Amino acid sequence: MYKNEFKIIFDYAKDKTDDIEILLSAGNSFSIRINEQNIESFSYADSKGLSVRVIKDGKTGYAYTEKFDEEAFKLIVDEALENAKYTEDDEVAIMENHPDIDVELKMYDEKLNEVDVKDKISFAKDLEKYAKAADKRVFNVPYAVYGDSTGYVKIANSKGLDKEEKQNSAFSYVGALTQLDDDKRMGVEFNVGRDFSKFDAKKMAEKSVEKSAALLGGEEVTSGSYPVVFNNEMMATMLSTFSGVFSAKAVQEGRSMLVGKMGQMVANEKVSILDDALHPKGISSRRFDSEGYSSQSTVLIENGKLKSFLHNTQTALKDGVKSTGNGSRSYKGSLNIATSNFILKPGTHKESELLAAKDKVIEIVALQGMHSGANPISGDFSLSGEGFLYENGERKHSLKQFTVSGNFLQMLNDVEMIADNFKFNMSSYGAASVLIKELAISG
Amino acid sequence: MLDKKLVEKVIDKALSNGADFAEIFVEDTYNSRIQFNDGKTKQNVIGKDYGAGVRVFYGETAIYAYTNDLSEKSLLSAAEAVSKAAKGNNIIKPIDLTKMEFENIHPISIPNNTVAKSDKIDFMRKVNAASRNYNDNISQVDINFTERIQKVMIANSEGLWAEDSRNYTRVGVTSIASSGNEKQSAGVGPGGHIGYEFINSLNPVELGEQTAKIAAIMLKADYAPSGKFPVVIDNGFGGVIFHEACGHSLETTAIAKGASVFCGKMDQQIANPVVTALDDGTLPNAWGSENIDDEGMPTQKTILIQDGILKSYMVDKMGSIKTGYARTGSGRRQSYKFAPASRMRNTYIANGTNKLEDIISSVDYGIYAKKMGGGSVMPGTGNFNFAVSEGYIIRNGKIAEPVRGATLIGNGADALMKISMIGNNLEQAQGMCGSVSGSIPTNVGQPAIKIDEILVGGRK
């Protein structure tokens, strides 16, 4: 696809640039949101964008366009060259024809594209209907959402690289609000996947209500240090908040708490973290990254020891290592580093064992304030949490909104047990429930 | 931007299955971003966003489709897709589009594209040098210079044809102070609906030193205490508390769903009588200002709360249909990729009468939040949290030692009643607000305010 568009650009850039890479992404998407059994919003999208990264005299420049015609294509080559003139970055990525890998990845299922819109609408309506029916304390279902999308990406460069890939996926989430006296709580349940028949509205709706209602009638927590269990979803949230510290770019620029720690113990020996772009169940799996570099599974922390950062070809060159295939850029942006499927390896314990491991344990099942109360550079966090107090393994009661504070690295060192209930969240971060020795809780 | 005949054809097509209303939004946007860090110009990206969105209403259902292929075939196919998503029984006759005239209240004197890139880079170099020279602990300075010229055309089945061009200029500075394993960062991001004259009005040395100073102070600071305290939140970005805790709950997006604590509270007391708050799109050249909203309605100055009494919500077209309240020119969207929704513009608490010193001296023990960081709110419950980026202990009515890592946690409705004193030093600050219709420029603002009691999450 898009052979002609790429040829126009390559031909025009041939004598002007030393090297050029073209990245195109295109796709379509659908989403629907239900409120009071009416369609609150309904949208279709059909979009594409194309960008060039040029290298001239050792300098890199970028430009992009969403307008697809010959004039626009030529203009972005000239604009990217003009941009390159002003770039002072001395660490230039070298464009290569990165070899392909021989793996079978099922990232696209034609059957998803054949699902009738009527079935998607009734699915989203069912989310709300079942949530309202599940418990009389449900007073509102502000989120009953379904969406799906198909994406296509093509990358080619002047060294002969030419790769393309297509993927699709569907997502859904339902959020239910329950109320008891003045106490209002929200519970959210989500699902992502490629098989629409596995989207179960009743199950999702009931789960969201169960999550919400369980928190009602909370008591205030006495401030102090407590052993804390992050359930699997919240541990994944913590990973997503702090995953940026593994970016080699952040490390090289001195903005990661892992600077100078390569090869050292940075976490408890129970902790192993990896980024796996080839994970069979990961929704972010892909054959190659945004530079066309082949995907792999990269161990970042192995039994507590820091083994690798996440690299693109530019940061890898600087560190004298190989790229880990984590080069990332949208057509609107410049080359960066991003996670694919980011995983904290599960343990062997049952979650109930974690909750019973101490006299008192606070289980955290919801967190807020990730983008304001967490400092990804220092690792410090102070977040708003919701959850339960356990005594000797028994759930005593839910808690009123509290704050949980600590430091991410300290927390990884204080991991005492990891459960076996591994789960991916909607953004491809996966974890099981984890028991932390202690964290500051205030209410 | 598009031929009038074609636009009329698209609207007719969108109405063809009996819809109540049809609208087309066309955008052609120039974006430029220069990133300066590590003491160097690292990345420059220039690009063009280009596309159109077609929206129809069937009763209280909004249907939206967008494409970046603006050929007749593609636009008519988008119009057909939205028309077929539901069925109505309206017959709206073909309309004649009439161009809307309005005064440009945000004039640009120096268009950004007339300024050499090297001048922009020189400015960033000065900021960088000032920040690094301020203190030995400054280990990294990130500077972003962004320009956006968004040309829009909005036409609808009521005969509206409106065109506008919006010119945004902003510079962001973040300084990181390090010592051993400790790292603290501080940032500012002044900007406006304005041209390069805005950059000329800034002092690069002050800009660089300002963030360096805060990062250096916070590096040496001890952790904040935990517990319930009185908190004094100073002016400018402190207004993020009102934005997050109350502003979002006054948007009809939340009101129409019943997912707001302020539903059914019109003309009732929702805040302490000292509180008056506005959402104003008319402030000349302000970051969140517009001439017309993204539904083609002239922007306005909306009084949200007068002396503690709720006076208005922020209302877009669909919000007006659902709630019955008149539109307030609040329909906004990031780009053609989003259907518009009721959103904030420049939202602020009006000046009171107290001096900052008098507010501070009224507190025996509490927190002085000089600069706020970001925050978020849980819709429906109104529970919010946000970070204090520069904080101090108040002891015996005086500002004492700095503290870091404090998070303010509370409930919007509750906090509004607990605002007991308001200063006279109103200031606006710029931010990007993310919500259902994407990420849009908004100002937050307030004079210094005192909240009698709020939960502070710290580590001590």
Q: How many C-beta atoms lie closer than 10 Å to residue A303's C-beta?
A: 14
**pLDDT-derived band at A65, boundaries 50, 70, 90:** very high
Is the Cβ of A177 closer than 8 Å to some Cβ of chain B? Answer: yes
pTM attached to this predicted model: 0.89
Q: Which of B75, B151, B317, B459 best tests the A interface by mutation, with the highest count of A CBs <10 A?
A: B459
Domain with CATH 3.30.2290.10 in chain B: 4-99, 112-148+165-215
Shortest CA distance from B336: residue in chain A: A45
Q: State mean pLDDT over A151-178.
A: 96
CA B78 to chain centre: 30
Residues of B within 8 A of A64 (CB-CB) are 45-48
Q: Check pLDDT > 70 for residue B379.
A: no
Q: What pLDDT score does B79 carry?
A: 96
| B118-165 per-position pLDDT tens digit | 999 999 999 999 999 998 999 999 999 999 999 999 999 999 999 999
Q: What pLDDT score does B91 carry?
A: 84
| B157-176 per-position pLDDT tens digit | 999 999 999 999 999 999 99
Report the share of chain B in percent with pLDDT over 90.
82
| CA atoms within 13 Å, Cβ hemisphere of B277 | 36
Q: Check pLDDT > 90 for residue A108.
A: yes
CB B198 within 8 A of CB B169: yes
Closest by Cα among B119, B126, B287 to B207: B126
Is the Cβ of B417 closer than 8 Å to some Cβ of chain A? Answer: no
Return the CATH number of B112-148+165-215, one of 3.30.2290.10, 2.60.40.420, 3.30.70.890, 1.10.10.60. Answer: 3.30.2290.10
| B41-71 per-position pLDDT tens digit | 987 899 999 999 999 999 999 999 999 999 9
Residues 6+ apart with CB under 8 A from B235: B423, B425, B426, B427, B445, B446, B447, B448
Q: What pLDDT score does B377 carry?
A: 79
Domains of chain A: 3-211 (3.30.2290.10), 219-443 (no CATH)
Question: Which one of B69, B117, B176 has the shortest CB-CB distance to A377?
Answer: B176
Q: What pLDDT score does A90 carry?
A: 66
Question: Which one of B28, B85, B185 has the shortest CB-CB distance to A377?
Answer: B185
Residues B178, B143: Cα–Cα separation, whole Å: 18
Mean pLDDT check: name the lowest of A65-69, B241-245, B290-294.
B241-245
Closest by Cα among A67, A163, A170 to A117: A170
Residues 6+ apart with CB under 8 A from A265: A304, A305, A306
Mean pLDDT check: name the lowest of A121-125, A195-199, B86-90.
B86-90
Q: What pLDDT score does B226 carry?
A: 87
Q: What pLDDT score does A380 carry?
A: 86
Q: What pLDDT score does A91 carry?
A: 66
CB B260 within 8 A of CB B254: yes
Amino acid found at B435: S
| Backbone phi, psi, residue A84, to 5° | -60, -35
We find that the CATH architecture of domain B4-99 is 2-Layer Sandwich (3.30)
Mean pLDDT of chain A: 94
| A388-440 per-position pLDDT tens digit | 999 999 999 999 989 899 999 999 999 999 999 999 999 999 999 999 999 99
Q: Check pLDDT > 90 for residue A262.
A: yes
Q: Check pLDDT > 90 for residue A168.
A: yes
Residues of B within 8 A of A49 (CB-CB) are 68
CB A401 within 8 A of CB B409: yes
Indicate whether this complex's ipTM tops 0.95: no
A393-396 own/partner pairs: CB under 8 Å, 24+ apart: A393/A352, A393/A355, A393/A356, A395/A355, A395/A363
Is the Cβ of A162 closer than 8 Å to some Cβ of chain B? Answer: no
Kindly determine whether residue B257 and residue A61, on different chains, have CB atoms separated by under 8 Å: no
Residues B48, B305: Cα–Cα separation, whole Å: 40
Residues of B within 8 A of A86 (CB-CB) are 34, 41, 44, 117-118, 121
Q: What pLDDT score does A394 carry?
A: 97
Q: What pLDDT score does A214 carry?
A: 97
Q: What pLDDT score does A254 carry?
A: 82
| B269-324 per-position pLDDT tens digit | 999 999 999 999 999 999 999 999 999 999 999 999 999 999 999 999 999 999 99
Q: What pLDDT score does A104 carry?
A: 86
Query: Over the Cα atoms of chain A, what is R_g?
Result: 24
Q: Check pLDDT > 80 for residue B459.
A: no
What H or E segment, with its residue span, contains residue A249?
helix A248-252
Shortest CA distance from A35: residue in chain B: B257
CB B394 within 8 A of CB B368: yes
Residues A83, A97: Cα–Cα separation, whole Å: 24
Q: What pLDDT score does B119 carry?
A: 95
Q: Check pLDDT > 90 for residue B96.
A: no
Q: What pLDDT score does A443 carry?
A: 82
Residues 266-325 of B with CB under 8 A from A: none
Residues 321-350 of B with CB under 8 A from A: 337, 339
Q: What pLDDT score does B183 carry?
A: 82
Closest Cα in chain B, distance from residue A12 (Å): 18
Q: State mean pLDDT over A16-22.
A: 96
